[in-house]
Structure 1
Amino acid sequence: MYREIGFQKDNQAEYKSSQAIHMDCYRWVKRDSYLPVGSHNLKAAAKAKLGYDPVELDPEEMCRMATEEPQTLATYSVSDAVATYYLYMKYVHPFIFALCTIIPMDPDEVCEHL
């Protein structure tokens, strides 16, 4: 598979390629965001870093809402996607790629190991 498309399994059983990155905002939030302990979830990080308060739903109600209130569930899903996108574009992407200009590592490795 590596010779054909450039992906290979690493020691954590994840398939990775140096040509395609998979950035994890959560790793950055835990390590580099300087948020207090207990504030490392998406809602807290988005509120602290972006001033954006994503929609919050009770997890126990999600199955019921899927059939009875699909629009509310869709709003919640989009709200999370928007928070993740802007958190990544404003903080994670510039930070990791700035480090990649200094440290000769792939972006995934920079995000994981530093």
Structure 2
Amino acid sequence: MVDIHEDSQNKTKIAELLQYHSTKSDDKMTSLKDYVMRMNEGHNYIYYITCESKKVVENSSFLKKLKKKGYEVLYMVNAIDEYVVGQMKKFEGNKFVPVTKKGLKLDEREDEKQKN
């Protein structure tokens, strides 16, 4: 695993090398750059879920709502993944958000609706 937390000068370059399985990548892995390119309008966050294996995470009840809305979720199945995301915070201006977060809001437009 690359040391993204130790090389802040090259954090962006290193982040471009990271790859994960996702709800839309089938058996292939996807890069963060490809994930961002596939984001729908109004999809302003990089959603992820952590678990011990891809097989277990694919059946998580946390994914149901996001899949229904067409949002892609990254599967982070390595112990270091959550730490790395915590160090990066954002990729190309998009904040990382765990789908297991209590009170998860799916996009900024929903945030605005709730304020009004």
Q: TM-score, normalised by structure 2?
A: 0.24
Structure with bigger helix share is: 1
Higher radius of gyration, 1 or 2: 1
Larger relative CO (CA 8 A, sep 6+): 1 or 2?
Answer: 2
